Amino acid sequence: MRTEDAFGYALSSNQAWAGYKSHQNPDYFSKLASGQSPTILWLGCSDSRCPETTILGLQPGDVFVHRNIANIISPTDINTSAVIEYAVVHLKVKHVVLCGHSCCGGAVAALSDNRVGGILDMWLTPLRAVRNAHREELDAIVDQKERAIRIAELNVEAGINVLMANASIQEAIAERGLQVHGTLFDIGTGHMRDLGFGNGKGRHQNLRGMNDSASVVRGKHAMLVFGAGGAGEMLAL
């Protein structure tokens, strides 16, 4: 496919997808249009390789989404704050998932002393602050890819700290047990890892180990399981 044909191909692919979904279930889109009740708020990176619904094996309507460059969570960003408030207060999601990823261009840029240029330098300031706070640890990591993964993990931890201080999130945790999870998506393997940050701390559990309080988000091809200890595994159906 030539680059100039990309948008035309996307439109054709959309028509095929819509036809396929309607053939599977004639009521699919009418039900989707009747309203949304997502279980998860996903806060992630704008990277084209990290499409949240695809990663989770879920469907339209399952995940409320906010993505930006390098999945930075800033308390002064009104865009992020508005998404969090709407998802937590009005949609009453059960889980907030902040997801960083490997091969992150923002992480690589933050590790460099060179300017990116334009608005991006200002946007990456919080990530560069993370680098400065952990400079000794990061500089000790020889492998550049591993160093970028480590700052991506630290960036998720910093973002989780901001989320846990958010008034809407604090109220939802106290009133209805909202869970906040810090994760990292490995582009090279397709797997998402629970980093143990937030109030849903703990190692992954498989489905057999889940207790009665487990929350299951079901998709067409897989399901994502959240237990009291944190995010569980995605299991192919």
Q: Which of 62, 99, 104, 181 is catalytic?
A: 104
- Active-site residue flag, 99: no
Q: Is 181 an annotated catalytic residue? A: no
Three-state SS letters, the chain? CCHHHHHHHHHHHHHHHHHHHHHHCCCHHHHHHCCCCCCEEEEEECCCCCCHHHHHCCCCCCEEEEEEHHHCCCCCCHHHHHHHHHHHHHCCCCEEEEEEECCCHHHHHHHCCCCCCCHHHHHCHHHHHHHHHCHHHHHCCCCHHHHHHHHHHHHHHHHHHHHHCCHHHHHHHHHHCCEEEEEEECCCCCCEEECCCCCCCCCCCCHHHCCCCCEEEECCCEEEEEECCEEEEEEEC
CA distance 45 to 71: 4
50 included as an active-site residue: no
Which one from 45, 66, 99, 150 is the annotated catalytic residue?
Answer: 45
Annotated active-site residue in 47, 66, 99, 150 = 47
| Active-site residue (options: 49, 115, 135, 221) | 49
Q: Which position among 50, 62, 66, 101 bears the catalytic label?
A: 101
101 is catalytic: yes
Residues noted as catalytic: 45, 47, 49, 101, 104
